[in-house]
Structure 1
């Protein structure tokens, strides 16, 4: 038994070539519609990935402002510098006491 493949392939090719122009236009339109649908679904997925909650943003802003208020630090000298400042103030106070003592002739114990 012999099978002739050449006849089958020509029949398949000839069947595919018998598409009318209207059918071709319909196929092209169908492909374009599918491409547009795919593009729209991709764009929708991109939009869905980014969701913005205005309440969450407001809460984050309030938290950031509160944190900035709590983080406010004042320039405080170190312990070593504080001792040095105290020593200079003591010397200054001694000079004032001496000047008052000389002016009034009275001993001041303070």
Structure 2
């Protein structure tokens, strides 16, 4: 899995070119979010587990550049969005371990 940690909209646009025509998981979070912090160890483990098969983009929502979050219609964090060839396949909002694990197991391959 290639994990692209995007820091702003411009960075996201540049790095997202690597996922064109492929399936990718987008993770929107907030540094000061306790729920995001709680799910981080599981997220990191899943990224390692699927490192050979997936592309993941992380994006800190609510920073100065919010166009990416708005384009993905992110309303709260953490939000996971699965895209395949430019089309949204599914999304999960929240940090339930089983739901996040299920998302990676189903779409991280």
Smaller-chain TM-score bracket? under 0.3
| Higher fraction of strand | 2
What TM-score, normalized to structure 1?
0.17
| Higher fraction of helix | 1
